[in-house]
Structure 1
Amino acid sequence: MPLLSGLTAAALVVVVALPFAFIALQAIFPEIGAGSFVRPFAHLGAVLKSEDFGIETRNTLMLGAGVVLASSVIAVPLAGLRALYRLPGALLWDVVFLVPFMIPPYIATLGWILTLQPAGYLQQLTGVNLAGFLFSFPGIVVVMALHSFPVVYFAASRSFATIGARFSDVSRVFGAGPGRAFWRITLPLATPALAASLLLVFAMSIEEYGTPAVLGARFGFDVLVTGIDGSLSDWPIDLPKAALLSLALIVLALLAFALQRRIATARDFDVVGGKNPRAPTRSLGIWQAPVLALFGLVAFISTGLPLLAILATALSRTISGGLAPNNIDLSHFEAILSDTTGAMQAMANSFSLGLIAALVAGVFGIAVAYVTTRGAGRGQRVIDALAMLPNAAPGVVVALGLILLWNQPALPVTPYNTMWILVLAYVCILLPQPVRYTVAAFQQINPSLEAAARISGASPMRTALRIWVPLIAPSVLAAMLLVFTVAARELVASLLVAPVGTDTIGTYIWRQFDQGSVGDGMAMAFLAIIATTLIPLALLGGLRRFERKA
């Protein structure tokens, strides 16, 4: 155990702690890149007093709060209807609402632009465009909420189902109507789940790069993430400012986490006792048709419209030709599959990097989970804290930390400008997922199993292979699939640290739009969505069938 703890801690220091430490050092010592520690905090006053910093911070808070509110408005009523009433096709609706979360937000945003912009698909079909709404603050909020509301929907529906209808039934006996019973009884009891999911939505919103960069640029709406990107990509490059903006983002995420913990622990929310808390779900009665229409409308807007826009663009010979039969062909898919634009190489890069990142993150997750659940003392708590640190940092912050760390002139060797820098970025960003999955799996295994194996003469290696690995394998594999899916189409870190001349799925699509090759970009996006959605789902389905047979 001491050897494993030491190796795990050392690896976490290199992968997680050092990049974050160099962000802090760059913020404090503006000339550390040249190996100098002179003039500490010399940049701090100028950045904090700058108009850009105040505007970007305010816009970031407004965006996060707006997306949280909009996601709640969409998700909470749907979750209540799903959990408390007999909804026809409930499992099918769950699958449909999962799709928006599987579509990378920057791709969905490009689909919305092609649909709602002047001469877009909506105007071609109805004569109306909604560009004024789309390229505005409410437009950004709605587009991002349509991507993130499934997080709240799934958390809230499961919490409402656990609470059941028995508490609200008591209030109904005392004269409360259905609406009052839900808002005064059921919804407050679901506060912990709602707070946790809304915290995740807030964190996703303030770290999202693609949507604010594409939509906000049209009307001057800058946030901290786009400010960091501008500091790194616009001449003159301002690393100290980028580091300070990154620290501001981390502080906002940590404050949101602290608020969530305060809300979740402020009161007693126990609803599960010795009896089954769930009461039979109610019939929708005459409201069945309107409820199904509501679910269908949300599914069409959040899932159908972006996918149809992506597919329509991929099948259009030219954008100017519009939705005309003679403008439809497969030329963009042929260009992708024939690799004339480097698309297949970009896809191969993403899949190979995603696979390597999934394997490395999976091993990390096992090591961290074993040390933190089977060890004791401060060292284990430090390891757990390091493993969860990326939760408080957007991908752009991780990328900046890797740039600052691995560009130090004193380093004899560096992974920078190689494919390994992308692996480091993906592992650092996504490490909390396999750690949480694997920790949960270890916590369900009684330590007496290991003791029995050791008493029977099994070596530590044999015990691990015959006891631990089979029991935690489903959770680890599920986490690795999640890492693969997200890493294969990650955008912001890939844009910042990818080696010169190397494309991934995310950077390829982004560059195609920059170059005006919209059809090729959307064909690549459609293939990427199919591959990174269906492959993990198929593997998870096979894993579940294997578990049932076992």
Structure 2
Amino acid sequence: MNKNTLLPVFTGGALLFLVAVPVTFVLLQAIFPHLDRGTFNAPFSAFGKLFADAQFPTLLSGTLRLGLGVALATALIGIPLGTLRGLFALPYAALWDALFLIPFLFPPYLAALAWMLALQSHGYVQQLLGVNLNNLLFSMPGMVMVMTMNVFPVVYFAISRSMAASGSRLADVARVHGAGPWRAFFRISVPLALPSTASSLLLAFTLSIEEYGVPAALGTRSGVEVLTTGIEQRLADWPIDMPGAAGLSVILVAIACCAYWVQRALVAGKDVETTSGKPIAVVPKPLGRARFLVLALFSLVALTAVGLPLASIFVTAFSRTLSGGLGVNNLTLGHYKALFDLQGDALGALGTSLSLALGTALVVGVVGLLAAWLVVARRIRFAACIDALSLLPAALPGIVVGVGLILAWNRSFWPVTPYNTWGILLLAYCCLLLPYPVRYVSAAMRQIGNNLEASARVHGASAAQALRLILLPLVWPSLLASMMMVFAVASRELVTSLLLAPAGVETVSVFVWRQFEQGSVGDGMAMASLAIALTLMVMFLAVRLQNRRLY
């Protein structure tokens, strides 16, 4: 094989293996319900059976209500906070940014467990304030609230950056020409921020409808069912309904795609260029008398979204028993000692998660670098296909990837299969997290002129040598930052771990989930606190590396 075709063939093969295979088997199983018997009879009949199922309207309506509720709630919180951050001189702005980044780094399932400890009957809030919020928590509004506290930073950061970049300067021009402050805001700042607003709300919607941990933790006790829990139920309950799980997976992806289409339709033709090519200083306005009111608002949101869940986790980790309540006599380090007991499962789960996360970071780092290089720098013939395959997992819920891998590799015709080994978890993590390095490296490569690689080629370097000696050192900070983010996210992934982990293999997320189910809440929260500390450390280091790349 020619050296110039070796890397494209390797990259294309890796993308087919990681992404196309599971997606194809989900579609095939949904269309041909008897595929597991080796026949293509009765195509599309599974959808008729699915639509006739009395549970289907409940699953669909629950998913849509959750997604729309979270999108609305994140808009109510994220848009005002983001506007204040972007347009005004907010005191301690960097501190608020750092605090609001923390909830998004929380695994949603862990946030749900923390909120359960705080708000359930005889929880920490009732012990401190005498208020019982159990009925609110275990309901659709409670699920929306928990997801909103986890997802609103997406909207906050999008709005704040958009407002800071354009809204203030052009609004000032409108003020000079006679417009009042509110008129300038609604006629100038809001329309300019519409693309960022729509994109962030779309992301909030898709993140909520794809989430499994929050509905599984809160919805099962309140009777709220969604598509993700319906898929898991069809895979866990006997008899296993593979066509039904595949059909629900396709419907879930279709909802996400429809939401994307609606977002594109809303912002079509509304992009406005506001940059003339000259750097313009952004001068935020003083808050004046509203300073203390704004600080109180930011403090309330930070306390609710960050302080309360973190306090619940750490208090539980240091409490001897839940029934012992909040008191000095109930404090203990026993749960942390139990984690490092050589006869326990905690060290094995931690080692498995860290190993899988490291392997995932290395694999997607290599594949993502090659995919971005072929699309941005080389622009080969099938660049559009490579680009589509490398970014497709961003639209795939984790539970759909898990279903696809089960359907693809749990087949008798494979001479060798990763199914029922730790390798299936590695495939799942790689598929889900591949878009991270692709996006980071693509953005970095677009900032590099084509003349550098062309000069190397003119002087006799091959394409691979130009990549290794010229481009890789330049994009390395971005690539390393993305790999660190992949490492942090992979180390606490839940839904695919629950679906695919073979007997005897346990990850950190599965360990925490199982401990909570078995009543060993203190051990689970001790492990969760370690996972949070590790995730925050790695993610902030990744952000620092990325910021260094910008200067």
Specify which of 421, 425, 437 is matched with residue 422 of structure 1. Answer: 425
Matched, 1:436 2:439: yes
Mean Cα deviation higher: 486-495 or 56-65: 56-65
User: 1:198 Cα deviation (Å)?
Assistant: 1.4
Which runs of structure 2 are paired with 1:215-226 in the superposition (5 Å)?
Answer: 215-226=218-229
Query: Equivalents in 1 of 2:547, 2:139: separation in Å?
Result: 44
Q: Deviations over 1:446-499 (max 9, x none)?
A: 111112122234344442222111111011111111111111000000000011
TM score, norm. by length of structure 1: 0.96
Matched, 1:398 2:401: yes
Matched, 1:408 2:411: yes
User: 1:173 Cα deviation (Å)?
Assistant: 4.6
Specify which of 202, 207, 232 is matched with residue 204 of structure 1. Answer: 207
Do the aligned partners of 1:164 and 1:279 also contact (CA within 8 Å) in 2? no
User: 1:421 Cα deviation (Å)?
Assistant: 0.6
User: 1:260 Cα deviation (Å)?
Assistant: 1.9
User: 1:328 Cα deviation (Å)?
Assistant: 0.8
Q: 1:544 to 1:178 in 2, by over 3 A?
A: closer
User: 1:331 Cα deviation (Å)?
Assistant: 0.7
Query: Equivalents in 2 of 1:543, 1:267: separation in Å?
Result: 30
Specify which of 490, 493, 502 is matched with residue 493 of structure 2. Answer: 490
Matched, 1:44 2:53: no
Q: Deviations over 1:111-139 (max 9, x none)?
A: 11111111010111111111121111111
- Tell me the equivalent position of 2:131: 128
User: 1:374 Cα deviation (Å)?
Assistant: 3.0
Matched, 1:101 2:104: yes
Which runs of structure 2 are paired with 1:502-513 in the superposition (5 Å)?
Answer: 502-513=505-516
Q: Deviations over 1:289-339 (max 9, x none)?
A: 111111111111000000000011111101111112111111111111224
Do the aligned partners of 2:410 and 2:419 also contact (CA within 8 Å) in 1? yes
Matched, 1:501 2:496: no
Q: 1:448 to 1:286 in 2, by over 3 A?
A: same
SS in 2 for 1:436: helix
- Tell me the equivalent position of 1:119: 122
Do the aligned partners of 1:57 and 1:224 also contact (CA within 8 Å) in 2? yes
Q: Deviations over 1:270-300 (max 9, x none)?
A: 2222455555211111111111111111111
Specify which of 342, 347, 351 is matched with residue 350 of structure 2. Answer: 347
Query: Equivalents in 1 of 2:131, 2:45: separation in Å?
Result: 52
Q: 1:276 to 1:204 in 2, by over 3 A?
A: same
User: 1:185 Cα deviation (Å)?
Assistant: 2.1
Between Structure 1 and Structure 2, how many residues are aligned?
Answer: 548
Q: 1:534 to 1:377 in 2, by over 3 A?
A: closer
Matched, 1:313 2:304: no
User: 1:367 Cα deviation (Å)?
Assistant: 1.1
Q: 1:173 to 1:454 in 2, by over 3 A?
A: closer
- Tell me the equivalent position of 1:257: 260
- Tell me the equivalent position of 1:9: 12
- Tell me the equivalent position of 2:467: 464
TM score, norm. by length of structure 2: 0.96
User: 1:13 Cα deviation (Å)?
Assistant: 1.2
User: 1:258 Cα deviation (Å)?
Assistant: 1.6
Matched, 1:241 2:240: no
Do the aligned partners of 1:318 and 1:327 also contact (CA within 8 Å) in 2? yes
The amino acid that maps onto 1:129 is N
SS in 1 for 2:340: helix
Matched, 1:323 2:326: yes
Specify which of 131, 137, 150 is matched with residue 153 of structure 2. Answer: 150
User: 1:546 Cα deviation (Å)?
Assistant: 9.2
- Tell me the equivalent position of 1:474: 477
Do the aligned partners of 2:478 and 2:546 also contact (CA within 8 Å) in 1? no
Matched, 1:294 2:297: yes
Mean Cα deviation higher: 208-217 or 338-347: 338-347
Do the aligned partners of 1:71 and 1:152 also contact (CA within 8 Å) in 2? yes
Query: Equivalents in 1 of 2:356, 2:329: separation in Å?
Result: 39
- How well do the aligned residues superpose, as a CA RMSD in angstroms? 1.8
Unaligned runs of 5+ in 1: none
User: 1:218 Cα deviation (Å)?
Assistant: 1.4
- Tell me the equivalent position of 1:160: 163
Query: Equivalents in 2 of 1:67, 1:539: separation in Å?
Result: 28
User: 1:376 Cα deviation (Å)?
Assistant: 4.0
Query: Equivalents in 1 of 2:60, 2:547: separation in Å?
Result: 45
Query: Equivalents in 1 of 2:363, 2:282: separation in Å?
Result: 44
Q: Deviations over 1:201-235 (max 9, x none)?
A: 11111110010111111121101000000000011
Specify which of 339, 356, 360 is matched with residue 357 of structure 1. Answer: 360
- Report sequence identity in percent: 51
Do the aligned partners of 2:358 and 2:487 also contact (CA within 8 Å) in 1? yes
